[in-house]
Amino acid sequence: MASDDDKHARVTPAALGSAPIALRLPDELWLRIIAAFDYRRLRRIRRVCKRFERLVQDQRFDAKLFRRMPVGGELKPGKKVALHPLLEVVDCVRVQHDDAMIMPGFYKDPSVSRKELEDDPVDKTATSREDKDKDGADDDEAKGDGELKDWNGLDYPAAREYATSPACKALEVSMMGQYGFSRNESFVVRDASGVRCDKVLKAIAAYWCKPAPAGAANRARREWGWPKSRKVVKREALGDHSFFEGWSKPVVQKDGSVYLEANPLGS
């Protein structure tokens, strides 16, 4: 049986020379290569091996990966701000306080993987809803965990990342813009340590659960045949115009807060 010394002796420059070229590149060169990657590609390369997972932890990627804390005075009007991809793929009309459903078509998006251990070969977020319908109940469903568990954005590590880059301490959100039920329909999400995705999603859910204005509520009651005594929330008052169509580009305001407005809702 070979001794430990024999095993270590086998690790020679010649042996390393037979490895794939990519594995022979030094860390600093790889850091220069992946510096050109965007959020999604950085998240994806983390899944290749533990070495890349370690490289992506370098602080030079903090801004692109929405993990850089707010910096005082950085956000000024005209400053370009990126919105976190998770907020783009969650249905921000049907979002609930504890359930932020990923919209169909984004289940395979590696940027919103639930897996924190990127070398785990089994990632159920890579399975589409259509695959489930075709193949029948999966392991989660068989365990009674429920079909939608894998696609609740609040369960993803990305939910704890900052909502914008650069990160902001105040994010003003308007879900309906000029088409709102009334003026000043926007709300502000605040956090002195930086506004994170999960806090934004929960604030949006709370907005849709507020009572609808009297006129909109009465229209909804007539449309659905509800009794006059039935309480109607804003989400219910949307009628057919309830499909989330994404966001306009975030804008930095004079006070350093960021304004975010949803595109007109579809039908």
Q: Are 181 and 212 in contact (CB under 8 A)?
A: yes
Express each pLDDT in 28-78 by its tens digit. 999 999 899 999 899 998 888 888 899 999 999 999 999 999 998 899 999
Distance between CA atoms of residues 148 and 142, nearest Å:
13
DSSP state of 79: -
Range of the domain at 146: 104-151
Collect all residues with Cβ–Cβ distance below 8 Å to 29 and sequence separation of at least 6: none
Per-residue pLDDT at 214 exceeds 70: yes
CA-to-CA distance for 150 and 161, rounded, in angstroms? Answer: 18
Residue 131 shares a structural domain with residue 176: no
Note the pLDDT of residue 48.
85
- Residue 117 belongs to a domain: yes
Q: Report whether pLDDT(229) > 90.
A: yes
Query: Higher model confidence: residue 46 or residue 85?
Result: 85
Residue 246 falls in which region: left (phi positive, over 0), alpha (psi -120 to 50) or beta: left
**92 and 190 inside one domain:** yes
- Please, what is the average pLDDT of the chain? 80
**Domain boundary, last residue among 151, 181, 211:** 151
Q: What is the pLDDT of residue 111?
A: 52
Amino acid at 201: L
What per-residue confidence (pLDDT) applies to 11? 38
Maximal CA-CA distance, the chain: 84
Confidence of residue 158 (pLDDT cuts 50, 70, 90): very high
* pTM (predicted TM-score): 0.77
Residue 263 has pLDDT above 80, yes or no: yes
| Residues 123 and 209 placed together within one structural domain of the fold | no
Tell which of 151, 181, 209 closes a domain. Answer: 151
Residue of 246, 242, 244 whose CA lies nearest to 260: 246
